[in-house]
Chains A and B, each alone.
Chain A
Amino acid sequence: MVPQFARGHRLHQDKARKRWVILAPERVFEPDEIAVEVLLLVDGVRTVDQIVDTLAEKFAAPREAIKVDVAAMLADLHDRQVLAG
């Protein structure tokens, strides 16, 4: 599965407030640090498995644990219509 942002939604570096935000129609979400790490890898090309691999390597963490977290987070963002597909 290849996650991607729904049209009208994107990750944005909010320099003035030193944080990342998700810009959406009439809304601004503030993702937590882990969500930011995942969303930085959501580019409409990488698969979920590739995202998990990258994060497992970056944080030297067990792949299975990361996979569970990533799946839950993607499902949540999907429910909020931030991600499509």
Chain B
Amino acid sequence: MTTQIMTGSLPDTSPPPPVGLLAELTHRCPLRCPYCSNPLALAEQAAELTTADWARVFQEAADLGVLQLHLSGGEPAARHDLVALVRHAAQAGLYTNLITSGVMLDAARITELAEAGLDHVQLSVQDSEPNSADRIAGFPGGHARKLAFARLVTSAGLPFTLNAVVHRQNLDRLDEIVALALELGAKRLEVAHVQYYGWALLNRDHLLPTRAQLDTASDLVAHAQTLHRGRLTIDYVVPDYYATEPKPCMGGWGRQVMVVNPAGRVLPCHAAESLPGLVFDTVRDHSLAHIWTYSEAFLAYRGVAWMRGACQGCPKAEQDWGGCRCQAFALTGDANVTDPACRLSPDHHLLDVAVQRATAPIGNFTYRERAGTKKARG
């Protein structure tokens, strides 16, 4: 299957600048989540950008108009220069958000991060029940370390968001997850349904929730949002496999966010490397401003000119931007079609088919690993 990329003349005006930069500092991570959003081919440490490269990228981002920087991975704390990176970002004037699994940061380093100007921490948990959490993460003892980390973050005075990735194997404990967020003093809870590309697609049959689970969870969230108003903000979005309208993925391709991967390639979305035929520029060769305006990968699906079929001329085209390209490709093999999450897509039934197939027994995940380092399955 080849992907047809929009060709034609280069833009003569610059698009409005991005508001967010997602910096994947490394793909290294001690955890092995079976839904990890990193690509199947993980970047090697030797290929990672240096401290000086990132410092330049952060300054370019701020100059371009980026407001918020999300330091992510892999596990960003696997980088020994994390404190220095936060300092560079803060000096550039960026709002810095650390997205972490929390298992590699001790009290001293958290204090250093706070002093370096870190604005906010987002901590991921795999479940509320420790054994289940550790099994899902493929990392014994991880959950207890996350709880200790959360307490250290709070005592360092940093605000934090708890991020819980939910799926069939933990959704029934959503009430406990909400209670955990409150107990740990989180100001926000993100209940994020797994998105199915890359590792998660390999594990989809183990992870897709049932309709009944989903309905219970949605009711529970609505109730908790009211009950804890002013104390805990709960973000929740209905997962695509049960949706009838697609989400404006990344706020629209090339409209809001840039992703820089560990090797310096600049992507319109963190999963964009799953799309065949796209060519990505790197920060080693070009400035972020140049890439934002001219990179072929950003031009490919920016705006509405690429749309065909149901999306073409649809009144929603400039609201949802045709949904997610990576999901369209993952489900249909064609990145140029309407996201099957849309009820107007001729492929909408594929979601039902996937839901019906997802009855694999608990266990037997394909854990995230670097090729050639296969460990025992859990």
**Residues of chain A whose beta carbon lies under 8 Å from any beta carbon of chain B:** 6-8, 10, 12, 14-17, 21, 23, 25-26, 28, 79, 81
Residues of A within 8 A of B68 (CB): 23, 26, 28
Known: A7-B157, A7-B158. A12 touches B65 (CB 8 A): no
Contact of A23 among B64, B67, B161, B187 (CB under 8 A): B67
Q: How far is the CB of B330 from chain A (nearest CB, A)?
A: 26
Number of interface residues of B (CB under 8 A): 23
Residues of A within 8 A of B203 (CB): none
Other A-B contacts than A17-B17, A81-B230, 4 sampled, CB-CB below 8 A, are A8-B158, A8-B187, A12-B93, A25-B97
Known: A14-B65, A17-B65, A25-B161. A79 touches B230 (CB 8 A): yes
Across the A-B interface, the 6 shortest Cβ-Cβ residue pairs:
A16-B65, A8-B159, A23-B95, A8-B120, A25-B120, A7-B159
Does B188 sit within 8 A of A, measured CB to CB? yes
Q: How far is the CA of A15 from the CA of B65 in the complex (A)?
A: 7
Q: How far is the CB of B322 from chain A (nearest CB, A)?
A: 24
**Identity of the chain B residue whose Cβ is nearest the Cβ of A16 in the assembled complex:** B65
Residues of A within 8 A of B65 (CB): 14-17
Residues of B within 8 A of A25 (CB): 97, 119-120, 122, 159, 161, 187-188
19 contacts between A and B (CB under 8 A): A6-B159, A7-B159, A8-B187, A12-B93, A16-B17, A16-B64, A16-B65, A17-B17, A21-B67, A23-B67, A25-B97, A25-B161, A25-B187, A25-B188, A26-B97, A26-B190, A26-B235, A28-B67, A81-B233
Residues of B within 8 A of A8 (CB): 119-120, 158-159, 187
Q: How far is the CB of B155 from chain A (nearest CB, A)?
A: 12
Q: How far is the CB of A13 from chain B (nearest CB, A)?
A: 8
Q: How far is the CA of A10 from the CA of B90 in the complex (A)?
A: 12
**Residues of chain B whose beta carbon lies under 8 Å from any beta carbon of chain A:** 17, 19, 63-65, 67-68, 93, 95, 97, 119-120, 122, 157-159, 161, 187-188, 190, 230, 233, 235
Q: How far is the CA of A48 from the CA of B119 in the complex (A)?
A: 25
By CB atoms of chain B within 10 A, which of A6, A25, A81 has the most? A25
Q: How far is the CA of A8 from the CA of B120 in the complex (A)?
A: 6
Q: How far is the CA of A12 from the CA of B63 in the complex (A)?
A: 14
**Identity of the chain A residue whose Cβ is nearest the Cβ of B158 in the assembled complex:** A7
Q: How far is the CB of A30 from chain B (nearest CB, A)?
A: 11
Q: How far is the CA of A28 from the CA of B68 in the complex (A)?
A: 9
* CB <8 Å contact, A12 and B67: yes
* CB <8 Å contact, B159 and A28: no
Contact of B161 among A7, A14, A26, A28 (CB under 8 A): A26
Q: How far is the CA of A19 from the CA of B349 in the complex (A)?
A: 45
Q: How far is the CA of A79 from the CA of B187 in the complex (A)?
A: 13
By CB atoms of chain A within 10 A, which of B63, B97, B157, B159 has the most? B159
Residues of A within 8 A of B122 (CB): 25
Q: How far is the CB of B118 from chain A (nearest CB, A)?
A: 9
Q: How far is the CA of A21 from the CA of B66 in the complex (A)?
A: 12
Q: How far is the CA of A16 from the CA of B161 in the complex (A)?
A: 28
